[in-house]
Amino acid sequence: MTQFSPLDAEIRDLLRFAAQRSMLPRYRELRDDEIEMKGEDDPVTVVDREVEEFLTEALTRLAPDVAVVGEEAVAADASVMDRLSGACWIIDPLDGTANFANGEGHFGIMIALADAGEAVAGWIYDPVRDRLCHAKKGEGAFIDGEKVAASASGDTPPNLAAMKGFMPNAQRSIFEAEIEPHYSIVKAPRAACEQYPLTVFGGHDLAIYERTLPWDHAAGCLFLNEAGGSCLRPDGSPYRVDDGRKGMIGGANRALFDDLAERLIKAGYMPADA
């Protein structure tokens, strides 16, 4: 049965409008002067800023008492992160910016609603597929209003997605020597907006994350957990948007999560309390 709440419908319409107005017309049409580098391998485009500005204004109108934490607002003023411990919207206006700027790969828009450091609702919009993955704490995970459940691939060995480029050299060496032999390593899509659905759909059994910035992970982590998967810190503690920690595992089920977490900790890839 389709379950689209009024809030889900409102968010879907905002995301669809933002994508149709700002994102899709510029896909593979970006000029060089519409792309900048915030840091090494960290591009930002005119689309990121335009979509974030629109969504910030729209969400503030929707809930005036709820703060907004946007990726680009944080890039301009790090103190915006202080809002994460209260009620706030978290916006990734263009997840997969590098893919979008290169004219290939996956990209999307992600919004989460958090309170007291915990994501309570999340929306992941794929503008190419016009697909909305959404979840609410304690109510399950949905795709375009239809409830979904996470499912492992059943492959032996399990499929593991890892962006090794984000791993420090020492960790990468441990990973390649101690972890890779136990898994089938699959290419990560370089976009959390696609990685989390892939784990739910059984395309990837597991994903390991180094950076766990709230705009990249708040909505997706909630979506995976509400679908029956396990997205947790390696020590089994829940992801919080305001704790600043690194390292997380997303698994299609708890058994897959536990096996990878144990291997990572035993190999010294990360401490048990990472």
Query: Which domains can be identified in the chain, with CATH numbers?
Result: 6-147 (3.30.540.10), 159-267 (3.40.190.80)
**Residue 200, pLDDT above cutoff 80:** yes
Residue 170's contacts (CB-CB under 8 Å, 6 or more residues apart) are none
How confident is the model at residue 42, as a pLDDT?
A: 85
Burial 233-260 (b: 16+ CB within 10 A, else e): bbeeeebbbbeeeebbbbbbeeebbeeb
Beta-bridge mates of residue 206: 160, 251
CA dihedral of 259, 265, 268, 269, whole degrees rounded to 10: 70
User: What's the token pair of residue 199?
Assistant: 């784990």
Where is pLDDT greater, at 169 or 122? 122
pLDDT confidence of residue 2: 64
CA 222 to CA 155: how far, in whole Å? Answer: 25
CB-CB neighbours of 6 under 10 Å: 7
Largest alpha-carbon pair distance within the chain? 51
- Of how many residues is the chain composed? 274
pLDDT tens digit sequence for 53-77: 999 999 999 999 999 999 999 999 9
% of the chain exceeding 70 in pLDDT = 97
pLDDT exceeds cutoff 90 at 274: no
State the pLDDT confidence band at 164, using cuts at 50, 70 and 90: confident
At 76-96, the pLDDT tens digits run: 999 999 999 999 999 999 999
Runs of H (alpha helix) within the chain: 6-18, 46-62, 71-76, 97-102, 169-174, 192-201, 214-226, 254-267
pLDDT tens track for 28-38:
999 999 999 98
Structure-token pair, residue 274: 């990472």
Task: Specify which residues 131 forms β-bridges with.
Answer: 126
Question: Of the candidates 249, 175, 236, which has an alpha carbon nearest to the alpha carbon of residue 207?
Answer: 249
Tokens of 5: 């709440």
Residue 135, amino acid? A
Mean of pLDDT over the chain: 95
Q: In this predicted structure, what is the pLDDT of residue 69?
A: 98
Q: Lowest-confidence range among 110-114, 162-166, 201-205?
A: 162-166
With beta carbons less than 8 A apart as the criterion, state whether 96 and 43 touch: no
For the chain, give the percent of residues with pLDDT over 90.
91
Contacts of 198 (CB under 8 A, 6+ apart): 161, 189, 204, 207
Kind and range of the H or E element at 121?
A: strand 118-126
pLDDT in tens, 251-273: 999 999 999 999 999 999 875 55
pTM of the model as a whole = 0.95
